Amino acid sequence: MHLLVVGMNHRTASLADREALALAPDAARGVLADALQRDPIREALVISTCNRTEFYLAADDPDGAATALRASVERIKGRDLLSPDPSIYRFDGTAAIRHAFRVACGLDSMVLGEAQILSQLKDAYTLARDAGAAGAMLDRLFESAFRAGKRARAETSIGAGVVSIASAACELARQGLQTLDTLRVVVVGAGETSRLAAKHLAHHCPGGVTIVNRTRSRAEALALELGITAKPLADLTDAMAIADLVVTATTAPTAVIGVEDVHSVMAARPDRPLLIIDLAVPRDVEPEVATITGVTLHSIDAIQTVVDRTLATRAGEVPRVEAIVDEEAAKYEAWRRGFEASPIVRDLRDHFERVRSEEVDRQLSNASAEERARAERLTKALVNRLLHLPTVRLKDADPASDEGGWRLRAARELFALDGGRADHGV
């Protein structure tokens, strides 16, 4: 079984390309269901955030799996989005394992060391598990990735300070508006990014934050948690009319704030500027809004300029986190080799146990119970000693390599472990 990762992120792809490939949970379930129907894919997981969409696969044939995934995505999205392109990357084997761990540790995030990616990975893993798409290989991969992510934040300062997409958005707002103390703010959406943004803004603008969401109950629950005001999405334009800052981060497939909406808002307040920060992928705000007089619109990519000025401490911790990645990757590789070899090891031990038992029965058919018990202990100990080194060597064999694959095949052939019966006679 081979592991591979196919995807794009903020380093390789434009915002428009990331929008095109982004998958809401229902669409992600659709890709998983379709992919599992296609050989040679055996397991699959998809993570789709504002900064990345990635597919983790376990398959018998990695090239065939990549082709099958491309067809599945095309079927769900309606167009070919994984054709060979510089924006699309692929990692195989050890590189795929290290990539998963680096993502979990925050080393591949727009905001170095961010903690939010770990919860996003857990959500993606839960979705794959619930869909029956994650099996032993991906189970162990992501359990190990979560451990690596927790270790990175506990053992290093990679997560030091408050540097997240939400906090960076607040810093960008402070730069644009000089002060946040007396501002009136509207936060659109009630997901994790919106919650974090609302939390940061509520701290700086006590009593001045309104949360707007399509599902009113979610907005009210968040408002109660943070001590802010909640309104339904139908009241968004009215809320924007008195706002100085709008931060939006919904999971809507199309824009929730259009040019006409903002035109009408600004017509009633020509002398008051409006700052809009759009953290959503796909974008919540139509790009043409940026052309309206008095409006400043920032997309999520603008956050990078803020983030770059806050990461000196975290950057110094990268070598220590990379060491954790290497250590956890080595542990996973050792487990994977053992997992791949375990059926052969089991069959080999069953074969030796069968021979041992038959010989004890044949040689000691008339022996006393005490003699038989002594012979059982002796022969079992002998078999265990004889098989110890072969077991270690088989579990250490990498089935993805020529030498490892040959070693595993040779064991099956030498001891007729594929259903044939070896000659036990002398």
From 50, 105, 170, 205, active-site residue: 50
In the annotation, is 205 catalytic? no
Instruction: Judge if the upstream peptide bond of residue 40 is cis by omega within 30 degrees of 0.
Output: yes
Tell me, what amino acid is at 105? C
Using a 10 angstrom Cβ sphere, with 0-12 exposed, 13-18 middle and 19 or more buried, the burial of residue 283 is buried
Q: Which long-range contacts (CB under 8 A, 24 or more apart) does 305-309 make?
A: 306/168, 306/169, 306/171, 306/172, 306/175, 307/110, 307/111, 307/112, 307/163, 307/168
Q: What are phi and psi of 269, to 5 degrees?
A: -145, 60
Q: What is the DSSP letter of 247?
A: E
- 396-402 contacts: CB < 8 A, separation 24 or more? 396/334, 396/337, 397/337, 397/341, 398/333, 398/337, 399/1, 399/337, 399/340, 399/341, 400/2, 400/93
Cα 212 to Cα 290: distance, rounded to the nearest angstrom: 21
Residue 201: CB atoms within 10 A of its CB come to 26
Residue 230's DSSP bridge partners are 211
C-alpha 197/C-alpha 116 separation (Å) is: 12
Integer Cα distance of 337 and 396 in angstroms: 6
- Catalytic (active-site) positions: 50
